[in-house]
């Protein structure tokens, strides 16, 4: 039997030639094709970061509302408010008793829409059928809503008022005690002291006890415990317990955080409570390597006063706590000062507290291996507000009829 011959098609046209058969193999979808078929999102995170601020900030003001007029409401803000500003609006909402959340939910009372709101929040608003207000509607809500009769809000106001009065009474008692000490002191009788009425509030109402500190109380307690155990650790040779943040085994601390949140105040107060005499060096003092080595002699025998050309010498003893403030602000005139301070820390026989704003600054790198780490955060508005209200009530019996939200 003759073998079958393959049929060969001869044609002068490509259209007559049948297309080659393709294997039925599963096709893999590429990421590019999948992404091209999906609808492109109109939201750009880069554009969000570069969004412009309020266009006419200050042209309108938030109206004065009744106490607790927004109590019981849950608000969400999205987009930029051009006239009053988003931050000011959030602050006002909290001040009048509203709860402000980051994302809308079924419990949201109103969503305040500004310019260029978030697309995800807009989708949630549509899905859940939430009520929305613009900037003018939010201001009108504050102006027209009657005072709150919510029992929980009224109870909170009473508790806050009682707390403010109690703190003011304690401040008055401390002030009277201090005046009595000054009268008995021979130092007070040798010169005329500054009248309390002429003192700045930052001096007159400076914290005198731990509870007066606004925020970071846990960190202040760490500093206090470290100072109270310092002499014991010195005698034991500063043994390490191999913990993640073992500050007990360190001869010095590095306290860092944003400026103006109480780092230096906390260091001074903790040193005084622990029985130490704080001696501070800051950016106004010369802190070069040569001066630090010469005046401290590395073994803490003496230290210059560091104030102008005064050659007075302060003897150091076991009750001295050395505070190096603004370590990251050393200028070229302080060349080598960080290295000398670090050498001093390795051999010191008195506690040293270094304070800076930015721990990530390259100048602070030598301290990371020799100092215990203490991080300070910005205090919350409720903590600062409570202290201010106590001072106002102590001064002029002023009470702000609004809760410490």
Among the residue ranges 73-87, 264-278, 383-397, the one predicted with the least confidence is 383-397
- pLDDT for the residue numbered 296: 52
Query: Given this model, what pLDDT does residue 385 score?
Result: 80
Mean pLDDT of 243-272: 90
User: What would the CATH number be for the domain defined by 215-378?
Assistant: 3.40.50.300
Q: Can you give the pLDDT at residue 158?
A: 73
Q: The domain at 74-144 falls in which architecture?
A: 3-Layer(aba) Sandwich (3.40)
> For the chain, what are the domain ranges?
74-144, 215-378
pLDDT for position 153:
72
**What pTM does this model have?**
0.58
Q: Are 323 and 355 in contact (CB under 8 A)?
A: yes
Which residues have a Cβ under 8 Å from the Cβ of 26 and sit 6 or more positions away? none
**87-141: pLDDT as tens digits:** 888 888 988 888 899 899 999 999 999 888 888 999 999 999 999 999 999 999 9
Instruction: Give the per-residue pLDDT at 86.
Output: 85
Whether residue 252 has pLDDT greater than 90 = yes
Tell which residue, 394, 379, 380, has the closest CA to residue 204: 394
Alpha-carbon distance of 128 to 103, in angstroms, equals 12
**330-378 pLDDT, tens per residue?**
654 555 567 778 888 888 888 999 999 988 888 888 888 899 999 999 8
Q: What is the mean pLDDT of residues 309-338?
A: 66
- Name the helix (H) or strand (E) containing 113: strand 110-113
Residue 297 backbone dihedrals phi, psi, to 5 degrees: 55, 20
């Amino acid at each position: 039997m003759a073998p079958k011959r393959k049929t060969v098609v001869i044609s002068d046209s490509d259209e007559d030639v049948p297309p080659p058969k393709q294997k039925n193999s599963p096709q893999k979808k590429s990421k590019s094709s999948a992404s091209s078929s999906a609808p492109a999102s109109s939201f750009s995170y880069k554009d969000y970061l570069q969004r412009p601020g309020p266009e006419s900030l200050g042209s309108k003001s938030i109206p004065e509302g009744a106490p607790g007029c927004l109590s019981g409401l849950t608000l969400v803000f999205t987009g930029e408010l051009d006239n009053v500003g988003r931050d000011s609006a959030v602050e006002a909402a909290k001040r009048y008793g509203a709860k402000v959340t980051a994302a809308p939910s079924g419990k949201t009372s109103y969503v305040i829409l500004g310019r260029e709101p978030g697309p995800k929040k807009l989708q949630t608003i549509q899905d859940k059928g939430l009520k929305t207000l613009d900037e003018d509607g939010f201001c009108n809500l504050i102006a027209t809503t009657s005072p709150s009769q919510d029992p929980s809000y009224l109870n909170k106001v009473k508790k806050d008022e009682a707390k403010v009065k109690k703190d003011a009474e304690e401040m008055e008692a401390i002030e009277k005690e201090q005046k009595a000490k000054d009268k008995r002191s021979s130092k007070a009788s040798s010169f005329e002291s500054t009248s309390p009425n002429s003192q700045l509030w930052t001096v007159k109402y400076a914290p005198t006890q731990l509870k007066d500190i606004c925020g970071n109380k846990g960190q202040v307690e760490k500093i206090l415990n470290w100072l109270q155990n310092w002499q014991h650790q010195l005698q034991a040779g500063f043994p390490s317990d191999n913990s993640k943040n073992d500050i007990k085994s360190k001869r010095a601390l590095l306290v860092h955080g944003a400026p103006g949140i109480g780092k230096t105040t906390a260091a001074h107060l903790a040193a005084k409570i622990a029985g130490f005499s704080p001696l501070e060096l800051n950016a106004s003092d010369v802190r070069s390597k040569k001066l630090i080595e010469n005046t401290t002699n590395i073994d803490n025998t003496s230290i210059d006063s560091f104030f102008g050309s005064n050659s007075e010498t302060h003897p150091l003893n076991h009750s001295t706590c050395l505070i190096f403030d603004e370590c990251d602000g050393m200028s070229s005139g302080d060349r080598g000062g960080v290295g000398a301070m670090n050498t001093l820390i390795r051999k010191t026989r008195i506690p040293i507290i270094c304070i800076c704003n930015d721990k990530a600054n390259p100048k602070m790198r030598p301290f990371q291996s020799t100092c215990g780490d203490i991080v300070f955060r910005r205090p919350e508005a409720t903590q600062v507000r409570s202290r201010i209200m106590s001072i106002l009530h102590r001064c002029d019996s002023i009470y702000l009829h609004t809760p410490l939200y």
